[in-house]
């Protein structure tokens, strides 16, 4: 069951992060990015990779929160008290 929940979190987050990555970098040039007022001198691939990982982590957090909020209260309480079903 834990593997299924993990995939319910990771896979949708991956797909949305990939779509957002394409949309963001269709508009922005990675070589023109600035961080804290200074030009970032990372390669394009580094900017793409770091940005994708940030997007993916944020969407995984969003998916995990949604999955937790959609769980029935009895299941959440059972998880908190470590009871077996």
Write out the DSSP string of the chain.
-HHHHHHHHHHHHHHHHHHHHHHHHHH--GGG-EETTEE----HHHHHHHHHHHHHHHHHHHHHHHHHHHS-HHHHHHHHHT---
- In this prediction, residue 3 carries a pLDDT of 79
- In this prediction, residue 78 carries a pLDDT of 76
- In this prediction, residue 84 carries a pLDDT of 57
pTM of the predicted model over 0.85: no
Residues of the chain with pLDDT under 70: 1, 82-85
Angle 77-59-56 from CA coordinates, rounded to 5°: 130
Task: Give the span between the Cα atoms of 38 and 11, in whole angstroms.
Answer: 35
């Amino acid at each position: 069951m834990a593997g299924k929940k993990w995939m319910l979190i990771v896979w949708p987050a991956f797909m949305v992060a990939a779509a957002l990555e394409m949309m963001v970098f269709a508009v922005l040039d990675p070589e023109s990015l600035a961080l804290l007022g200074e030009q970032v001198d990372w390669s394009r691939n580094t900017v793409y990779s770091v940005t994708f990982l940030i997007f993916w982590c944020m969407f995984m957090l969003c998916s995990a929160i949604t999955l937790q909020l959609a769980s029935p209260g009895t299941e959440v309480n059972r998880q908190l008290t470590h009871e077996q079903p």
